[in-house]
Amino acid sequence: MSSIDADTTNGFREEEKILLRQVAKNAVEYKLQYGTPLNVDTTRYPRPLRERGASFVTLKKHGELRGCIGSLEARRPLVEDVAHNAHAAAFTDPRFPPVSLPELPELEFHLSVLTPATPMQFESEKDLLEQIRPGTDGLVLEDGPYRSTFLPAVWESLPDAPQFLQHLKLKAGLPKDHWSDTLKISRYTTESF
């Protein structure tokens, strides 16, 4: 199996997006009904959804975040990744209690399919900030044991690059003015629906 690349991610057909959203919802419903994770039969899905892919599933309730879990690397078929991450967003996001059955009709399912992350080369924080593309880039920050990511959708609430980077550092557990020679930043884009 090959992984989903930038060309594929920009080309999901509407029917494929609907199928992926339905898989996410089914994963949550199945756990609520049967108490176990949904096993996805990948053979029932179109080829692009069977390719390895990385996704994030974001749950919202009345416009407010209710859970968000995802994968940064393509390790399994995309349709399986979506089911796994929907289940995790609903039941294991440490910021929220598990989703309950009465909440299900109020949940909105938002999916983001990621392109592979590419390491950025920079000499300084100023150089890094000049390369970041607001509104387009998702970023992965790594420094020793510290790691965090922001999807491109986060630009809606943190619209300028310095602020985006500062909050990404805070999310990783680092001070907002942290800088070191071991700091690594990778970028990716998403197709969100």
What does the chain look like in DSSP terms, one character per residue?
Answer: -PBP-HHHHTT--HHHHHHHHHHHHHHHHHHHHHSSPPPP-GGGS-HHHHSEEEEEEEEEETTEEEEEEE-SS--EEHHHHHHHHHHHHHHT-TTSPPP-GGGGGGEEEEEEEEPPPEE---SSHHHHHHH--TTT-EEEEEETTEEEEE-GGGGGTS-SHHHHHHHHHHHHTS-TT---TT-EEEEE-EEE-
Can you tell me the mean pLDDT for 90-99? 97
What CATH number did the domain enclosing 179 receive? 3.30.1490.150
The boundaries of the domain holding residue 29 are 6-114
Can you tell me the mean pLDDT for 176-181? 96
Is a pLDDT exceeding 90 seen at residue 2?
Answer: no
Residue finishing a domain among 92, 114, 136 = 114
Residues 100 and 154 in one domain: no
Per-residue model confidence as pLDDT tens digits over 9-61 = 447 999 999 999 999 999 999 999 999 999 999 999 999 999 999 999 999 99
Is a pLDDT exceeding 70 seen at residue 88?
Answer: yes
Grade residue 151 by pLDDT with cuts at 50, 70 and 90: very high
CA 80 – CA 51 distance, rounded (Å): 10
Is a pLDDT exceeding 50 seen at residue 62?
Answer: yes
State the pLDDT at residue 5.
40
Number of domains observed in the structure of the chain? 2
Is a pLDDT exceeding 90 seen at residue 157?
Answer: yes
Can you tell me the mean pLDDT for 148-175? 96
Can you tell me the mean pLDDT for 174-191? 97
> Which token pair is 179?
């800088």
Residues 102 and 122 in one domain: no
State the pLDDT at residue 6.
37
1-5, 67-71, 98-102: the lowest-pLDDT one: 1-5
Tell me if 146 is assigned to some domain: yes
Residue finishing a domain among 88, 114, 140 = 114
Residues 6+ positions from 186 with CB-CB distance below 8 Å? 117, 118, 119, 120, 139, 140, 142
Tell me if 1 is assigned to some domain: no
Is a pLDDT exceeding 60 seen at residue 1?
Answer: no
Residues 17 and 95 in one domain: yes
State the pLDDT at residue 11.
77
Tell me if 14 is assigned to some domain: yes
Residues 132 and 50 in one domain: no
Alpha-carbon 129 to chain mean position: 22
What CATH number did the domain enclosing 11 receive? 3.30.700.20
State the pLDDT at residue 9.
40
Name the residue among 43, 59, 55 with its Cα closest to residue 1.
Answer: 43
What's this model's pTM, rounded to 2 decimal places?
0.86
